[in-house]
Amino acid sequence: MGEKERERAPEAGEEHHQQPHAEYSHFTDVGTKSAAYAQLLAALEALVESQRNWVCNLANAASLLWHMYRALPATVSPQARAVNWTGFYVLDPTSNPPTQLILGPFMGKVACQTIVLGKGVCGTAASAGKSVVVPDVEAFPGHIACDGETKSEIVVPIHAGAKVVGVIDIDCAELNGFDEQDREGLEKVAALLGASCDW
């Protein structure tokens, strides 16, 4: 029996949700970095439309970011394919008031499990509630080296209302891996996730 024959109409009282497909990870419009971010946002909007679980949504967002950077040609972003970690840290709910971030969904090597608020790039961005672009991590005071290969980093806070609930963390194995286009694109991703998840 073929796929079309197996499909059925939802029964009474049953919602029918289209499941996400791997095609979301295929980035075709990569002529500019802004176009790639626009495609990522469109895919993420479709994925979060009927899903408010933050683990699920952050996991898919980490995958989309990972595949987007790998799809960008060197003529558009010379360092994009050197991105070696895409993921999230969220406020640790076990401490009240929160004192640290805890590792969330990610793509890349095993990472630091907790980061104290105000420490490192992630803790600094979370405490300040503002994006931090670091062209050279060695020059950032108190940088936490989860992976010694990382040379540059960008961290963008996720706000749910007025509260910071987590951060997007992207690492690159080359210097100057991120620019203002990345900051703007990732801030749009953060805004969508902040509004679309039950934190």
Q: What is the pLDDT along the chain (199 residues), one digit of tens a residue?
A: 444 433 433 344 444 455 667 889 999 989 999 999 999 999 999 999 999 999 999 999 999 999 999 999 999 999 999 999 999 999 999 988 999 999 999 999 999 999 999 999 999 999 999 999 999 999 999 888 888 899 999 999 999 999 999 999 999 999 999 999 999 999 999 999 999 999 9
Return the CATH number at 55.
3.30.450.40
Range of the domain at 99: 30-196
User: Is 57 among the domain residues?
Assistant: yes
Q: Is residue 6 part of a domain?
A: no
**Domain tally for the chain?**
1
Q: Does residue 7 form part of some domain?
A: no
Task: Give a yes or no: residue 25 inside a domain.
Answer: no
Residue 2 falls inside a structural domain: no
Separation of alpha carbons 94 and 131, rounded Å: 25
- DSSP 8-state code for residue 20: P
| Contact present, 70 and 80 (Cβ < 8 Å) | yes
Q: Is residue 13 part of a domain?
A: no
Distance, CA of 39 to CA of 34 (rounded, Å): 9
Q: What residues pair up with 159 in beta bridges, in sequence order? A: 164
